[in-house]
Amino acid sequence: LPNGLRVVTVERHDLPLVTASLVALGGAATDPVGKAGASSLSSELMTKGTTTRSATEIARAVESLGGSIAAGASDDGATIDLTVPSAQLGTAMTILADVATNPAFKQEEIDRARTQSIDSLNVAMQNPAQLSAMVADRVVYGARPYGQPLSGTPASLKGLTRADLTAAYARSWKPGQATLLLVGDVTPAQAKQVAERYLGNWRVSGAAATTAKPPEPAFPAPRVIVVDMPDAGQAGVVVARSGIRRADDRYYPLAVANTVLGGGFSSRLNQEIRIKRGLAYGAGSSVATGRDIGIISARTQTKNPSAAEVVGLIDAEMRKLGTAPVPQDELATRQAVLVGGFGRTIETTDGIADILANYTLQGVPLEELSRYIPRVQAVDPAAVESVSATLLDPKAASIIVVGDAKQFLPALRQAHPEVEVIPAASVNLDSPKLR
């Protein structure tokens, strides 16, 4: 459109539904130091009232259309998603446009959402598995933008003002760095018409796209950290390291390697840790990618005395993938897991919109939607071994164990004498050093 808004249509006429997803670049990676959670909280508040509608009025209006609305932020941007019967698209777009361009950020809504977020974080920080994941992100990313907790910390959230939230909104929500995705029972001509009618007049002062970011700090050296939580009934274990951008050519071999390692019940980690030894209810791994370099992590929750053993098992399985080819039958099974999951996602309009929104935020061509399955299927054992040798090498990984340290620290220290111990009450997620 003339205001810079990009409009993308994906036609699916099998059901009378349309998902409209408005995607804006920016996100938590643009939160200033000390203001973690600003983008996440401001995005959450966009559906909690505009200059002409209260939160209740927005919810009731969407429900009366037989639809649903949600807003949220990631490290790379923010989205508003609205799914409605296609006959109601025009009415729904009036609501989406109002939410996107006229958020009120009422103080009472800010206070309510802040309190809920702080309460949720305080609960999460008492859970060994959740705290170990938070600590892992901070340890791996250090002072890089992705290192600030997406949802903030209790301290950062307490310090956020209404001005911080409006500034976070202004960083992302500019038509020149936004994309409207319309997926479902809609034609390109209809999509253009509703975009022009409801968002064509969207203008903001200082609407230049977000400028290039300054050079980012280097990734910090790996650390071995024990967070001592004496009352913990179990230990949360994470082995994590820096990964790749989503646009990296190694993404597909790494995605397949990760599925072999820890993607689902039949993965190697779950086989070794749960099925063979009964040390956990489950174990898995993940590859998080973005516009910037993401994180690769393996994780589980186990009884405290077996924490050091589990660390060793994760280390061994990560190392094995880079030193021996995956048997073809195992590879084919794990590829089928990825293909099946992707296939189920693209059966729905909101699933397609979610994938395309992620591609938009991650800097990936939208044509990747049709390339995903063949690119997964094209990965061979040699590619898995090669990418694993460099990106799953545990020597470059940090180890985080959160639990009752007296039950596992001596055994962990034998293998990792450099281990640092931090009392749970002293963990400071606002600092890359955690102290």
Distance, CA of 184 to CA of 86 (rounded, Å) = 8
User: Comparing 6-199 with 224-426, is the CATH topology the same?
Assistant: yes
C-beta of residue 104 within 8 angstroms of C-beta of residue 51? yes
Q: How confident is the model at residue 205 (pLDDT cuts 50, 70, 90)?
A: confident
Query: What is the pLDDT averaged over residues 245-259?
Result: 98
C-beta of residue 226 within 8 angstroms of C-beta of residue 409? yes
Name the E strands within 29-177. 68-73, 77-85
| Assigned architecture for domain 224-426 | 2-Layer Sandwich (3.30)
Q: Which two tokens stand for residue 249?
A: 């050519």
pLDDT digits (tens, 9 = 90+) for 217-237: 899 999 999 999 999 999 999
pLDDT digits (tens, 9 = 90+) for 378-428: 999 999 999 999 999 999 999 999 999 999 999 999 999 999 999 999 999
* pLDDT score of 213: 59
Distance, CA of 113 to CA of 107 (rounded, Å) = 10
* pLDDT score of 211: 46
Q: Is the pLDDT of residue 209 over 70?
A: no
Strands 234-242 vs 398-403: parallel, antiparallel or unpaired: antiparallel
Q: Terminal CA-to-CA distance of the chain, rounded, Å?
A: 48
What does the mean pLDDT of the chain come to? 96
* pLDDT score of 212: 46
SS3 336: helix
| Phi, psi values for residue 288, rounded to 5° | -100, 125
| Share of residues in the chain with pLDDT > 70 (%) | 98
Q: How confident is the model at residue 206 (pLDDT cuts 50, 70, 90)?
A: low
Query: What is the pLDDT averaged over residues 92-102?
Result: 98
Report whether CATH 3.30.830.10 matches the domain 6-199.
yes
pLDDT digits (tens, 9 = 90+) for 274-306: 999 999 999 999 999 999 999 999 999 999 999
Q: Is the pLDDT of residue 210 over 70?
A: no
Q: How confident is the model at residue 82 (pLDDT cuts 50, 70, 90)?
A: very high
Residue from 358, 256, 347 nearest 27 by CA: 358
* pLDDT score of 217: 87
Q: What is the largest CA-CA distance in the chain?
A: 67
* pLDDT score of 355: 99
Q: How confident is the model at residue 157 (pLDDT cuts 50, 70, 90)?
A: very high
Distance, CA of 261 to CA of 391 (rounded, Å) = 12
Based on its alpha-carbon atoms, the radius of gyration of the chain, rounded to whole angstroms, reads 23
C-beta of residue 61 within 8 angstroms of C-beta of residue 43? no
Domain ranges of the chain: 6-199, 224-426
Q: How confident is the model at residue 216 (pLDDT cuts 50, 70, 90)?
A: confident
Q: Residues near 341 by Cβ (< 8 Å), separated by ≥ 6?
A: none
pLDDT digits (tens, 9 = 90+) for 330-388: 999 999 999 999 999 999 999 999 999 999 999 999 999 999 999 999 999 999 999 99
